[in-house]
Every structure is written in C-alpha cells, then in structure tokens.
C-alpha cells in the first residue's frame, strides 16, 4: 500500500501536570474520511490541534506528505522550523467550532487572506478562486458582507470556503457543528458531504454519530488520551470490541 498522507506515532501532549495525549498512533491515507469520536476531554481536539501545530506536541513523531514535522532525535524532541510548519499548516487547514473569522474583514477578504499572505498567490487569482468557492457553499452574494451580518451556519460555510481556498491536501474539522443551533446543522453536514463526494481527505472531530456512520471510512474512538479502538463505522457502532467503547455507545443511544 502507498505511504499514508499523515502518520502520527507515539504522540504525547501535556499541559503542565495534565497529560492529555498518552501515546497516540494515527494514520490517514489520501482520500480517506476519518472521524474522531469519544467523550469530552478525551483528547480529540488536542490531537487535531497538535497535528496542525496549533499546539506543540510534547513528544512523538508527525510526518505529513513525506515531511517530518516533529520527532525524537539524539534523545531529545525536535520539531521542524516555523517556516516548514507554516507550509504544512497551509496544506492541512482547520475548520473550528467557533469559525475564527476576522470580524473586521469582509467575507471575501477572509477567504483570500491565506492564499495571498501565506501562499503568495496573485490577488486577482485568489479573488477569482474565492468567488467560485463562495458559490460552491451557496454564499457568493455574501462576498462583501462582514461576519457579524451572517448566521452561525453561514459563518461556518465561509470557514469551509476559507479552508478550501488553500487547495489543501487534508482538512481538519474540530466539532464543526457544536456551536450551531440544531436547525443550522444540516446545512453544514451537507457541505461536508459534498467534500466527501469530491474525494477530499478529511479528519473530523464530531459528536454527530449518525453523520459519522454514513460518511466515515474509518472511525477512531479516543478516550483518556489514547485511541482505544478503530475500525469501519458499522463495526465500531454495532460491534464494539472494548468495554470502554461499548459503554460509550450505550451512553449516547439511550
């Protein structure tokens, strides 16, 4: 088989005395849709933030698209130079639960910022691409609006367009529907479904179990800082092997 697009080995992350990740092994192949599920505080969001280097891991190895971003070397933990981390981050952008749009910039300005400032693409090219992407998420008419003029669902679709504008190899989603009112969730899930249909590589932290069952190639159950169990959705949800996962499944279907 081909090498994975993303490989994480023995990843640890501590915040002071608090150990959040305890030796996580995790791989994603090109075109794969991986869902991360598990109890709150289990380490799901910290894992994707460490992959993206929004948080610096405490130890372990991360290799993305053939480039080693961090590793143990000579008995010490090293990570790649910031310029290399920025380049990797631009190819695996994150969509956050609270959107993280710049409130003082228009929708269009939010979408083109990464391509222009980070990737140094021509502004005219970035604008043309942004208008196309806004059309794909159904918000072309909002290009000149500001984030505070949008609903939560619209803000999240803009955040997805912003990620797509980077022409990413992988998109990380950190609970993209958790900050939305229930009636707005469906639109975001349909937008993500369209990315799956296009064959994009996605890692999605979610509490939407029905969505994970329908779209996942693989589901990883994370609890207490480790991946307890991984597998295709039907096995994870219908035939869990560990008591920890079985108890979690029972708790969410009561």
- pLDDT of the residue at 2: 64
CA distance 80 to 57: 12
In tens, the pLDDT along 87-130 reads 999 999 999 888 889 999 999 999 999 999 989 999 999 999 99
The mean of the pLDDT values for the chain is: 92
In tens, the pLDDT along 7-19 reads 999 999 999 999 9
Task: Tell me the three state secondary structure of residue 152.
Answer: helix
Residue 39 binned pLDDT confidence (cut-offs 50, 70, 90): very high
CA distance 165 to 135: 12
Is residue 16 exposed (0-12), middle (13-18) or buried (19+ Cβ within 10 Å)? exposed
CA distance 192 to 90: 19
CA distance 6 to 230: 16
Cβ 10 vs Cβ 70: under 8 Å: no
């Amino acid at each position: 088989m081909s090498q994975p697009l993303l490989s994480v080995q023995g990843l640890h992350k501590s915040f002071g005395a608090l150990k959040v990740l305890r030796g996580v092994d995790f791989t994603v192949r090109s075109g794969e849709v991986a869902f991360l599920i598990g109890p709150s505080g289990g380490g799901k969001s910290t894992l994707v933030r460490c992959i993206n280097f929004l948080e610096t891991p405490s130890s372990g190895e991360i290799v993305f698209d053939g480039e080693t971003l961090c590793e143990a070397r000579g008995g010490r933990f090293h990570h790649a130079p910031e310029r290399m981390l920025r380049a990797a981050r631009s190819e695996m952008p994150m969509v956050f639960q609270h959107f993280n749009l710049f409130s003082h910039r228009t929708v269009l300005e939010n979408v083109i910022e990464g391509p222009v400032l980070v990737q140094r693409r021509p502004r005219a090219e970035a604008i043309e691409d942004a208008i196309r992407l806004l059309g794909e998420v159904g918000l072309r008419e909002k290009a000149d609006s500001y984030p505070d003029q949008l609903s939560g669902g619209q803000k999240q679709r803009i955040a997805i367009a912003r990620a797509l504008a980077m022409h990413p190899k992988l998109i990380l989603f950190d609970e993209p529907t958790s900050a939305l009112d229930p009636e707005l969730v469906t639109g975001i899930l349909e937008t993500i479904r369209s990315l799956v249909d296009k064959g994009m590589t996605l890692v999605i932290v979610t509490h939407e179990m029905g969505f994970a069952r329908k779209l996942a190639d693989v589901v990883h159950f994370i609890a207490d800082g480790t991946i307890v169990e991984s597998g295709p959705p039907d096995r994870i949800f219908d035939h869990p092997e560990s008591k920890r996962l079985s108890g979690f499944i029972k708790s969410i279907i009561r």
